[in-house]
Amino acid sequence: MRACVCQIIPPDVLARLAKDRKLTPAQRRAFARAAKLEPEWRGLRGATTRVAQLCRDTLPAAPVAAVATAAQAPLSITVFDCEHGNVLPGRSVIQPYSSGDETARRTFAETTEVARFYREIFGRNSLDGDGMALMSSIHYSVDYNNAFWNGGQMVYGDGDGEIFLDFTRATDVIAHELTHGVTQFTAGLAYEGEAGGLNESISDVFGTMFRQWRTGQSVAAADWLIGADILGPGAKARGYTCLRDLADPGAGHCLAPQPSHFSQLRKAMDPHESSGIANHAFQRAAVALEGNSWDIAGRIWYQGLTATAPSPNLTMKVFANRTRAAASKLFSGRPAIRAAVDAAWKAVGL
């Protein structure tokens, strides 16, 4: 199992905004602080990975029957308030579903819905498949411009109010970050190279699926944008409408544009950037298959992620072939589905 401290805002975007003279000194400092923390969070990820793997390899586990019984218990979903401090998890929010804090209510509600999405659509019991408790910390630090999964819980900043808003406002951001937990407990993808791009792409794919599912949008009605609901007035004034766009990864309206073809992949590319290739393949497959993204394309991608043993260094080509195989297995009597998945990957060079 590979833990991952994975953030929604790419480090290059944070660094770029930290030097943007159109922003106030206070805003630039806020971005600089977030950028400075990025390598530290990745270091924490490495430590969490080593400890988790050591525990799995050396410590005894409960009998299977006991684990199965525990998995049937109601899912524990908790919210903590950092109160603009930086110590995790913060103060426990009692009854977050009825809290006077809108961020607390929203965090509880959407985390609950992400769990329901995975349970009802994919038959998965929480992130680890065994009923893992879901813990979130809100109001992290002051004007913190990011949200992240740290290997064991969610953490949300409030944004600076100009470029980014409260990160809990975007359902796709919440699902994106929680999906890093699903990836952690299944494929165990590394956070570098092609595997890193796949890691980020899986989160974008299931994040956009969840956003569509929450609003009942078909693939034809969906806008395929990631992070549209956290962009503040300052970002919109510059013409940005999202962080990323699965339908048009390199578009100028993306604050973090991406390549859309495998030929554009470069060595040492950040996972937030290289993920555009697999993102676009999913979008093309889902649109070709019509209907709802989670009904066919989503099931195929989920099978590709979960049906085999952990593959930390998985390449994009191998994952593409896994989804081709999953399409054939899940929909053996409908060859057009496998053909649509194959065409989508070929369109991005895979």
Domain boundaries, the chain: 193-347
| Plot region of 88 (φ>0 → left; ψ -120 to 50 → alpha; else → beta) | beta
Helix (H) or strand (E) holding 206: helix 193-215
Q: In sequence order, what DSSP letters do the residues of 220-275 get, joined into one string?
A: TT---EESGGGB-HHHHHTT--BSEESSSTT-TTBSS----SGGG--TT--HHHHH
Could you tell me which residues come within 8 angstroms of residue 346 by beta carbon, excluding any fewer than 6 positions away?
A: none
The answer to whether residue 195 scores a pLDDT higher than 60 is yes
Catalytic residues, which ones?
A: 177, 272
pTM for this entry? 0.92
Q: What is the pLDDT of residues 111-169, one digit of tens each?
A: 999 999 999 999 999 999 999 999 999 999 999 999 999 888 999 999 999 999 999 99
Q: Distance (Å, rounded) from C-alpha 35 to C-alpha 31?
A: 6
Report residue 51's pLDDT band, with 50, 70 and 90 as the boundaries: low
CATH of region 193-347: 1.10.390.10
Q: Distance (Å, rounded) from C-alpha 308 to C-alpha 35?
A: 35
Relative to beta strand 147-149, strand 6-7 is: antiparallel
Q: Which residues pair with 317 in a beta bridge?
A: none
Residue 118 CA: distances (Å) to CA of 4, 38, 105, 114, 164: 20, 29, 20, 6, 28
Residue 279 CA: distances (Å) to CA of 229, 258, 321: 19, 10, 15
Give me the amino acid identity at 341. V
Q: Lowest-confidence range among 144-153, 172-181, 244-253, 332-341?
A: 144-153
Q: Distance (Å, rounded) from C-alpha 138 to C-alpha 184?
A: 22
The answer to whether residue 50 scores a pLDDT higher than 50 is no
Q: Which residues pair with 244 in a beta bridge?
A: 226
> What integer is the mean pLDDT of 46-66?
59
Q: Give all strands (DSSP E) within 83-133, no chain letters.
A: 91-92
